[in-house]
Amino acid sequence: MHKNSQAWLFLKPYGEGYKDMSEFKKVCQLSDLINNSGVAALIENQQIALFYVENKVFALSNYDPIGQANVMSRGMVGDLKGELMVASPLQKQHYNLNTGVCMDDEAISIPTFETKIENQSVWVKL
């Protein structure tokens, strides 16, 4: 289950010279992630919260727009009303892992990023 100790991945830019800002970047190995928990990754100076749930990887900004701190990777993941979600560790708002939309207030959302898993490597489209 959820651990309070924080796992961090410090990533060097992978490969040379990204030109397209919205391209997939190889972030880590699947084995670097923690099942049903979050890991924070620093990808080109952007803090991303990665969640490995139900054999899928979800990537959200690590920034909690309500608590105004980079904490989302510490949030507990679970299922609410049939949706996979992460609860902010600060004020406990629930955010849909697929869409980033706050389940209490749809006007608030956290940016999400597309992910893919290839040969046990995790890729995020930034």
Distances (CA, A) of 13 to 18, 24, 25, 43, 64: 9, 12, 8, 7, 24
Structure tokens at 17: 């010279």
> How many residues of this chain bind ligand FES (CB under 6 A)?
6
Residue whose CB is less far from ligand FES, 44 or 104 = 104
Q: With beta carbons less than 8 A apart as the criterion, state whether 126 and 112 touch.
A: no
Establish if 114 lies at the interface with ligand FES (CB under 6 A): no
- Closest residue by Cα to residue 42 from 2, 70, 65, 69: 70
Distance in Å, CB of 109 to ligand FES, minimum = 13
CA trace torsion 35, 39, 44, 45 (10° rounding): 160
Establish if 84 lies at the interface with ligand FES (CB under 6 A): no
How far is Cα 40 from Cα 46, in angstroms, rounded to an integer?
A: 10
Establish if 92 lies at the interface with ligand FES (CB under 6 A): yes
One residue of 33, 94, 113, 124 binding ligand FES per CB under 6 A: 94
- Segment lying near ligand FES (by CB under 6 A), choices 24-32, 60-68, 89-97, 107-115: 89-97
Establish if 25 lies at the interface with ligand FES (CB under 6 A): no
One residue of 44, 54, 79, 104 binding ligand FES per CB under 6 A: 104
Q: Which residues lie near ligand FES (CB under 6 A)?
A: 80, 92-94, 103-104
